[in-house]
Chains A and B, each alone.
Chain A
Amino acid sequence: EDQVTQSPEALRLQEGESSSLNCSYTVSGLRGLFWYRQDPGKGPEFLFTLYSAGEEKEKERLKATLTKKESFLHITAPKPEDSATYLCAVQPNSGNTPLVFGKGTRLSVIA
């Protein structure tokens, strides 16, 4: 069964304190791994897609990396506006299979 586990469930950082969020996955072949950001009361907002081990993507203070078993979302010098829930999802490489989501990491950045 395809599974995605995100850790930690919640993370509290001081402004400027860099850290990483983890996404571990078990999937029968990976077509793509996706990171989303979700603010309270809103739908998930697409951040990155990673397709193969070793791939990295960056956007402002965020960098996503991928290995064969997990992905990391690195947050460098975070600001309060980075506070949100970050969701990881995998696309299995087996026909028309829907995305499988993790339960997310709730990030709070304190000024």
Chain B
Amino acid sequence: KAGVTQTPRYLIKTRGQQVTLSCSPISGHRSVSWYQQTPGQGLQFLFEYFSETQRNKGNFPGRFSGRQFSNSRSEMNVSTLELGDSALYLCASSRQGSGDGSPLHFGNGTRLTVT
């Protein structure tokens, strides 16, 4: 069974640009969550999508947005990039998502570097 797939693995962008990251969940999983991981802050929750609807949103500025498609694949977008956005962005999927007590399954992330 294929795991969670994230593309691309690495990105280098310049301040002010925008970026789109992609995530394909495990087959049959309807929930996709996004996390930002940095050495200082650990994993910080960005948002969760379930059946194309945003179910939860973390404490990030509006420059961070996402969406989910009918096949459960998800994208997140960061506009007007700042140096502090450099991080590992992780996508995770689960069958029913937050609140049901089942574990998240993570992809290997997209390493974003903003120069």
Contact = CB atoms under 8 A, between A and B. Distances in A.
Interface residues on A, range: 20 to 34
A34 B98 contact: no
A104 B33 CA distance: 19
A39 B43 CA distance: 14
A43 B42 contact: no
Contact of B97 (A41, A46, A96): A96
B42 A99 contact: no
Interface of B: 4, 6, 33, 35, 41-43, 45, 48, 55-56, 58, 90, 92, 97-99, 101-109, 111
24 contacts: A31-B99, A32-B103, A34-B103, A41-B108, A43-B4, A43-B107, A43-B108, A44-B90, A45-B106, A49-B101, A91-B99, A95-B99, A96-B48, A96-B98, A96-B99, A97-B56, A97-B98, A98-B48, A98-B58, A98-B98, A99-B45, A101-B35, A101-B43, A103-B42
